[in-house]
């Protein structure tokens, strides 16, 4: 029962697949019929042979091109941190040193004093958290707000 369905599906799709593949592969498999295209292919092959015989260096180099190449490489070396005796083909070695930790004032801060909500409101007015403040004051504001909320939940204002 499944075999006839499979065969009919294959009969429908196989010609489409073959037509698409032939349409794509045929130009790639053809030889160069255009004389300009053939000349280009010949020059690419000739350049590959010359380059491989020179060890991958530039082909047909004159002193002017060598000077220009050297100046461009020097310019790149200066731009990216190279200099005399620096091998620009090697990946740089990074050395990271541990920075000493600085003591923070946050550890010396005391937590807000226990008190009534009115005391907290007064302390918030004194801090005036709406204006820009140093980091320790911001930290103190956050801690104060946190304790006000905790206190209010306990007292249930």
Does residue 141 surpass a pLDDT of 50?
Answer: yes
Q: How far is CA 44 from CA 38, 39, 47, in A?
A: 10, 9, 5
Q: Is the pLDDT of residue 130 over 70?
A: no
pLDDT at residue 82, as a whole number: 75
pLDDT in tens, 83-128: 777 777 788 788 888 888 776 555 444 445 555 666 666 766 666 6
**From CA 115, how far away is CA 146, in angstroms rounded?**
14
Rounded CA-CA distance 126/113 in Å is 14
The whole-angstrom separation of Cα 90 and Cα 87 is 6
* pLDDT at residue 140, rounded to an integer: 63
Average pLDDT over residues 57-72: 88
* Mean pLDDT along residues 8-37: 75
Higher pLDDT, 82 or 39: 39
């Amino acid at each position: 029962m499944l075999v006839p369905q499979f065969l009919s599906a294959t009969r429908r799709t196989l010609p489409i697949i073959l037509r698409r593949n032939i349409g794509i592969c045929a130009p790639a498999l053809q030889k160069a019929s255009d004389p300009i295209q053939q000349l280009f292919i010949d020059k690419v092959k000739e350049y590959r042979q010359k380059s491989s015989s020179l060890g991958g260096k530039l082909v047909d180099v004159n002193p002017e091109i060598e000077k220009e190449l050297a100046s461009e490489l020097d310019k790149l070396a200066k731009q990216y941190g190279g200099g005399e005796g620096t091998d620009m083909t090697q990946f740089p070695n990074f050395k990271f040193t541990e920075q000493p930790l600085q003591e923070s004032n946050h550890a010396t801060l005391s937590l807000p004093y226990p008190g009534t909500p009115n005391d907290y409101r007064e302390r918030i007015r004194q801090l005036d958290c709406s204006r820009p403040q140093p980091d320790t004051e911001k930290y103190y504001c956050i801690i104060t707000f946190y304790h006000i909320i905790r206190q209010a939940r306990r007292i249930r204002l």
